[in-house]
Amino acid sequence: MDVIILAAGQGKRMRSALPKVLQPLAGKPLLRHVVDTVHALAPSRVCVVFGHGGQAVRDAFQSDALIWAEQALQLGTGHAVQQAMPQLPDEGVALVLYGDVPLIRAHTLQSLLNRAGADKLGVLTVSLADPSGYGRILRDEAGRVRAIVEEKDATADQRAVREVNTGIVAAPVAKLRGWLSQLKNHNAQGEYYLTDIVSLAVVEGVEIVTVSPHDEWETLGVNSKTELARLERIHQQNIARSLTDQGVTVIDPARIDVRGELICGRDVEIDIGCVFEGRVELRDGVKVGAHCVLRDCVVGAHTHIQPFSHLEGASLGEACRIGPYARIRPGTVLDEAVHVGNFVEIKNAQIDAGAKANHLAYVGDATVGKRVNIGAGTITCNYDGANKHRTVIEDDAFIGSDTQLVAPVTVGRGATLGAGTTLTRDAPPDALTVSRAKQLSIPGWKRPTKQK
């Protein structure tokens, strides 16, 4: 079985410089959804017919084993499929899909392939309450498909038909090649319609079979940003339903966005407005507060992430408490029971069990030991304008508020840094280190007054 994906449309109604099939749905291009779906069918070949923005489309899929065929002129769907035919051998079946129909499911396509077999023409159809804009399926009195007529070419009686063509077909390659060679463009659009192969198959006596998807949204295409937004919500609601079916508590399924892969353990709870990007794993008992953003993270069991926290490229241990308003950046590894509080930023740091940075701190390029307490206003001065340097804080150290640790520097085990210290040399273990300017009080001093 070979797959042809039509992806040459310009998408003028998108009003965007980005090619239509590269417009993002749930964080990945429309065409990527289709390519990922067909991989589940294990096809022999996948040929993408490209046109508008062709090089950008190809560049976005360099790592995929795809065959490419260019449609330089937009002369209709039949013409587009013709461009792919030189890439396919006569043996086998061709499945024709669309790069702007991203939600089609693999089991629906497999049903169509099974029904069509090796010698029939299979057509995916759907019945719509409002079929406006779609080609209508015309059947005879015995219920056999006899033709597909585009709306602009249909009579009033034909436009009353609710069963419509989705454009997705499965056909023997050799037969399809012959039908395509006979297409004419004698229609209102002056285009070569793929749908005309149905009447040609009837003339040859080839049986035409139909399959319909379980949900009509599987066949919805994208031609505008409004339609793209509609499919985004449908897709996100499907993801939310899958999560709740697995036992995840999603406080409001209408207010969650998954733009990648979200893996959840038992008794996970997700509040409103959360965004998950890349690959995110939430282990048993994790709670994610409202309006958090997590990208490429692993969150250990029973860790609680308070509202408005942003985490990226981080690994969190069990029973941590994060936020609210915390930012955890790439390269961060937290052991168990670490507390990262409000307006604390952690970057490329390893923080051991039981350590705390509860308020208004920046910890970057640091190794922090067990049970360390980092006071409010503390920063690791890790960048000298050219290079990054590392700060090491050993177990049980206490870092007073408003402390600056000028890396490279080490704070010894059990050391205490007094509030307001600027540390430029290593602090010895089990000792108090203080670095402050001498405090002065000047009697009789008066503030300047504003001159009139």
> Which residue numbers are catalytic?
359
Three-class SS state of 131: coil
Looking up tokens 């209102």, which residue turns up? 188
Candidates 97, 37, 76, 30; CA nearest to 57 is 30
Three-class SS state of 145: strand
Backbone angles phi, psi at 412, to 5 degrees: -70, 165
Looking up tokens 């059990």, which residue turns up? 414
Candidates 15, 18, 87, 102; CA nearest to 52 is 18
Confirm if 353 and 335 have CB atoms less than 8 A apart: yes
**Bridge partners, residue 293, by sequence:** 275, 310
Per the omega criterion (within 30 degrees of 0), is the bond before 324 cis?
yes
Q: Is 37 left (phi over 0), alpha (psi -120 to 50) or beta?
A: alpha
Instruction: Report the chain's terminal Cα–Cα distance, integer Å.
Output: 88
Looking up tokens 């005879």, which residue turns up? 140
What 8-state DSSP symbol labels residue 188?
T
Please provide the size of the chain in residues.
Answer: 452
Backbone angles phi, psi at 155, to 5 degrees: -80, 175
For every residue of 87-111, DSSP letters joined together read GS-SSSEEEEEETT-TT--HHHHHH
Looking up tokens 């049980």, which residue turns up? 396
Angle between helices 106-116 and 30-39 (to 10 degrees): 50
CA 253 to CA 242: how far, in whole Å?
A: 10
CA 329 to CA 365: how far, in whole Å?
A: 11
**Bridge partners, residue 327, by sequence:** 310, 345
Three-class SS state of 184: coil
CA 17 to CA 231: how far, in whole Å?
A: 20
Q: Which residues contact 72 (CB under 8 A, 6 or more apart)?
A: 51
